[in-house]
Amino acid sequence: MGEIVDLVAKVKKYYKPTPLEIRNFFIIVFVLAFIISMNEWGPGQEFQLMYGLFNFLISVIIVAISFFFYHSVQRIVGLNLGYKVEYQLWSFGIYFALIIAFLTTAIGKTIWVFIPGGILIHFMAKHRIGFFRYGLNYFGLGTIAFTGPLASIILVIILKSFAPLIPSFILTKAINFNLAFAVWQAIPIPPLDGSKLFFGSRMVYALGFTTIVAAAILLYINIPVWIAVIGSILIGVICWFLYYILLERSLWKGG
Amino acid sequence: MAKEFDFRGKWVELFFFILIIVGFIFSVLTRSTVLSYSLIFVAGMASGRLLYERKNKLQLPYYLMIIGFLIGYILGAFYGNRNVMIILFIIGSFISYYLHDKGYIQDISI
């Protein structure tokens, strides 16, 4: 109980984002919403401004809620571990995502690339007292970072559970966005969140990444949620074990 | 005997050539005027970001590579006006450079 009271106090005191983070949040939300609504600016090939703006607004709401949930989980887990988490924009990722979106839209099928940035952790000296490995460490950073993609998957599970209450076109878009966002963020390219766990622990990354990818595939296809969850965990554990047997074990032996 | 490619000495020429091809492919694939203009504007913004990152450092090789991309893009542009594309690219670069320079966009430090 004391830990929860402590966490609530930390959230009240340190959760508030900086003005720069709020600005970055809006940039990321508008760009990602533009990408996911790129094919929806009119029925068929026709262009209709109001039609497009409506779809864009829906996309902004979906991306804002999803990204807020994604980063809030990282922030709260970070505070629980005694770190203040900050999300930083990666403008090259934003430009690259837009270029790929324009290019693939011209070809006929828009490919979503979601690489808007990554997290940075700040050490809170007083709140780390008593923790094993007191200072900053890669594993702590990786753990915090990877709760983001997990949060996206959990949001999809929640959305699927409340499917009858949400209009189907919003639900489908929200599910697709969160699944794609989780997978993109789990990729081990700096500064994306997957890279943080990859450098923290390869073994945990092997489990986490394969579970996220399996969950994304199984939740995308139309099967019951509980089968998708159990299936993805099983696939993750099998891939993790195979990774250890085929690759990691030989690395530990020195080749 | 074939001479080994001197990457450290000729990386600018190599990337200049690669970016001409990339720009050409991008341009050929973009079969719409609106998308073509949008893409070149965003590419301009990316180049502005790159030039900002090279502020107070060696910039000439990066200018050459950016010009390489622009040449490739213009060569492959069959939709839209080529002068408009050049202007959009330059405007995109200026806007992006200005936004980064004034701190409106602050980037991650990897």
Chain A residues whose C-beta is within 8 A of a chain B C-beta are 20, 23-24, 27, 88-92, 95-96, 98-99, 102-103, 105-107, 117-118, 120, 190-191
- What are the extents of the domains in chain B? 26-101
In this structure, is residue A232 part of a structural domain?
A: no
Tokens for A186, please give them.
Answer: 């789990």
Q: How confident is the model at residue B94 (pLDDT cuts 50, 70, 90)?
A: very high
What would the mean pLDDT of A234-245 be, rounded to a whole number? 94
- Mean pLDDT for all residues in chain A: 90
CB nearest B38 (choices: A89, A90, A102): A102
ipTM confidence: 0.89
DSSP-based three-state secondary structure for A121: strand
- Mean pLDDT for all residues in chain B: 89
The pLDDT score that the predictor gives to residue A228 is 92
In this structure, is residue A213 part of a structural domain?
A: no
What does the buried/exposed string (b/e) look like for B71-103 if buried means 16 or more CB atoms within 10 Å of the residue's CB? Answer: ebbbebbebbeeeebbebbbebbeebbebbeee
Please give the tally of structural domains in chain A: 1
In this structure, is residue A233 part of a structural domain?
A: no
In this structure, is residue A220 part of a structural domain?
A: no
Residues of B in contact with A191 (CB under 8 A): 108, 110
- Contact across the interface for A190 and B46, Cβ inside 8 Å: no
What would the mean pLDDT of A44-58 be, rounded to a whole number? 87
In this structure, is residue A247 part of a structural domain?
A: no
Q: How many CA atoms lie within 13 A of A78 on its CB side?
A: 28
What would the mean pLDDT of A86-100 be, rounded to a whole number? 93
Q: How confident is the model at residue B110 (pLDDT cuts 50, 70, 90)?
A: very low
- Contact across the interface for A90 and B107, Cβ inside 8 Å: yes
Pairing of strands A83-89, A117-123: antiparallel
What is the extent of the structural domain holding A131? 2-200
B85 and A CB contact within 8 Å: no
Judge whether residue A166 has pLDDT over 80: no
- Contact across the interface for A91 and B26, Cβ inside 8 Å: no
Judge whether residue A79 has pLDDT over 80: yes
Identify the burial level of B64 via C-beta atoms within 10 angstroms of its C-beta, where 0-12 means exposed, 13-18 middle and 19 or more buried.
Answer: middle
Q: Are B19 and B72 in contact (CB under 8 A)?
A: yes
In this structure, is residue A140 part of a structural domain?
A: yes
The pLDDT score that the predictor gives to residue B57 is 84
